[in-house]
Amino acid sequence: MPPSGNLPLTAMIMEKDISLHVLYQNKFSTISGIKSFMNTVCAWIFTDIFQHMMGIAPQVVLNQPLVIPGFPHPLFGNVTIVPRAMDHDFPIGGLWGWHPCNNVTEDERTLFLTFSRGFLVSEDEIREVFTRIRGVCVENVHMRDNVHSGEQALFGRMVLRSVTNVDQAWNGRRVAKYRVNGKHIWARKYERRE
């Protein structure tokens, strides 16, 4: 890779400038796109190769989902393939009807929010600050439910309309800081804890 961070071969294929910086700025959209591509296009085309790689006999029952954990890396989650007969048709829209935003889970579109102690932040204020800065992008806000009357929630989750909104709100930082009515809100990418 050149010292500039540019990816000339990728840029040539995509017919636009692509750099590591652009991929990093759009990290969550990129990861979601790869996951979606693996679970749709690759799972349809390379079913036989996945089965061979996993050491599964080709005569596995057709139409039974086969989950490959953490492929090609745990970051991308599981790939679910469904073995089909060789003459099986592709879904409506064909193979190239695929779009990276088609299979994005709610967790992939969620930010984890924390608030300053002593400054009550309401759901309306959260929506206000993100709508003012990013446009209409908030789908839902979940505040901590076990807060007693008069107490403040110290954290919450905000579901955005798209994973692109997550990249915009995060803006390449580990933690994004926002302010509404003199109150601080810290946002980072939500990671579900089991």
Give the Cα separation of 105 and 160 in Å (integer). Answer: 11
Q: How far is C-alpha 34 from the geometric centre of its chain's CA atoms? A: 10
What pTM, to 2 d.p., does this model score?
0.61
pLDDT for the residue numbered 79 = 74
pLDDT for the residue numbered 3 = 54
Q: Are 144 and 156 in contact, with CB atoms under 8 Å apart?
A: yes
Residues with pLDDT less than 50, the chain = 1-2, 95
Extract the tokens encoding 79.
């790939």
Q: Are 167 and 134 in contact, with CB atoms under 8 Å apart?
A: no
Burial 118-138 (b: 16+ CB within 10 A, else e): eeebeeebbbebbeeeeeebb
96-120 residue pLDDT tens = 555 555 567 888 889 999 988 767 8
Sign (positive/negative) of CA torsion 68, 162, 29, 43? positive
* H or E element that contains 81: strand 79-81
Q: Strand pairing of 183-189 and 110-115?
A: antiparallel
66-93 residue pLDDT tens = 777 777 777 777 777 776 665 555 555 5
Domain ranges of the chain: 8-97, 107-189
pLDDT for the residue numbered 1 = 43
Q: Is 107-189 a domain of CATH 3.30.70.330?
A: yes
